[in-house]
Amino acid sequence: MRLSHLITVPKLAVIQAKSWQATGVTMKNIMSVGGDGGDGRLVIVSNRVALPDEHGSLPPGGMAIALNAALQQRGGLWMGWSGKVKTEKNQVSPTMQEANGITYALADLSQKDLDEYYYGFANRVLWPVFHCRVDLAEYSDARKSGYYRVNRLFADSLMPLHREDDVIWVQDYHLIPLGKELRERGCRNRIGFFLHIPWPPADILATVPLCEELLEALSFYDLVGFQTDDDLDNFAECVRRRNLGLLMKDRSCLVKGREFRCGVFPIGIDTAKFESLAELATRDGDLQEIYKRTAGCDVAIGVDRLDYSKGID
């Protein structure tokens, strides 16, 4: 059943939020870090690239829609994993594609990369720990090695593609070390990082053997963004507990001589798009059948994948 059917069920409570395009707070801050914004491109790096289909439609998901809106507003480059598994042992340059005024750089990964970086360290260590499920974390040196190896691969792939006046915006827990890797390769651009999942309390993060490395890695960005005040508070406490630095009242942070800014930038939803989908759905035959079956009932529907972090397992 499509999402457009579900959001118009009678008496279903819908949480309203400002659209990402309307608030633009994350975009405004990342583009202004360290300067007046300039005329450079926005370069987004994420684990996976959300390519539009043949009709120009994006896959559902808050991050894909928000990032695409930012790129269309300013123009730029989106780099990430292509979704393909490469068979060559040597590193291959990303495949370049153009769509809707956006350039996509698609990097293939080996099966070993996926097993150690994505399925391994990112999703069997960071994901459960950041959601306070330490009991489910499965740490290994091989997974740690794969995590850093793919971040180095992304850095190597991005260096010849970026321009001097670009602003680089790194997304989520898969790529925490990427800013440091870029700096070590001589990148002097403004670089921001945004975490789309919670940042855990200090005692929880301490269960990850390389927790201090992760904290230090974030200090190589110019701006680090979180979803909530609690996430930022947890991050500040982690930095303080490890004697790495302090978060100031203006939300600047100094870690081992490197100063950067922190902020809270919750992503909303595109309410206009939701309204449009709801209007279209009212004329759908399947939805009319749902109306008949639920007449006189209060209906609550959740649209989530099976995931322990959502309480669905």
| Rounded Cα–Cα distance for residues 237 and 233 (Å) | 6
Average pLDDT over residues 28-54: 73
Q: Is the pLDDT of residue 62 over 80?
A: no
Q: Residue 183 burial by CB count (10 A; 0-12/13-18/19+): exposed, middle or buried?
A: middle
Convert the pLDDT of each residue in 217-228 to its tens digit: 999 999 999 999
**In angstroms, how far is CA 225 from the centroid of its own chain?**
10
**Rounded CA separation 26/225 (Å):** 8
The arithmetic mean of pLDDT across residues 54-65, rounded, is 66
DSSP one-letter code for 90 = S
Distance of CA 177 to the CA centre of its chain: 14
Query: What pLDDT is recorded for position 93?
Result: 87
Q: Is 90 exceeded by the pLDDT of residue 33?
A: no
Are the beta carbons of 164 and 202 closer than 8 angstroms? no
What is the percent of the chain where pLDDT is above 90? 57
Judge residue 5's burial from the number of C-beta atoms within 10 Å of its C-beta, 0-12 exposed, 13-18 middle, 19 or more buried.
middle
Interval 148-172: pLDDT, tens: 999 999 999 999 999 999 999 999 9
pLDDT at 216 (0 to 100) = 97
Q: Spell out the residues 6+ positions from residue 235 whose beta carbon is closer than 8 angstroms to its own.
A: 199, 215, 218, 224, 226, 247, 262
Q: Which of 137-146, 217-226, 239-248, 295-304 has the lowest mean pLDDT?
A: 295-304
Quick one: pLDDT band at residue 9, thresholds 50, 70, 90? very low
Q: What is the CB-side half-sphere exposure of residue 286 using CA atoms within 13 A?
A: 9
At 244-298, the pLDDT tens digits run: 988 888 899 989 889 999 999 987 766 787 788 888 877 888 888 888 888 888 8
Mean pLDDT of the chain: 83
State the pLDDT confidence band at 30, using cuts at 50, 70 and 90. Answer: low
Complete DSSP assignment for 30-75: HHHTTSS--SPPEEEEEEE-----TTSPPPS-HHHHHHHHHHHHH-
Token pair for 114: 């996926």
Architecture of domain 21-268: 3-Layer(aba) Sandwich (3.40)
Q: What is the pTM of this model?
A: 0.81
d(CA 225, CA 251): 11
* pLDDT confidence tier of residue 13, bands split at 50, 70 and 90: very low
The residue type of 295 is: A
- Please list the alpha-helical segments (H only) found in the chain: 3-6, 20-23, 25-32, 62-74, 111-113, 127-130, 141-158, 178-184, 202-205, 211-218, 229-241, 271-281, 285-293
What are the residue boundaries of the structural domains of the chain, listed by start?
1-17+270-305, 21-268
Euclidean distance between CA atoms 299 and 91, whole angstroms: 51
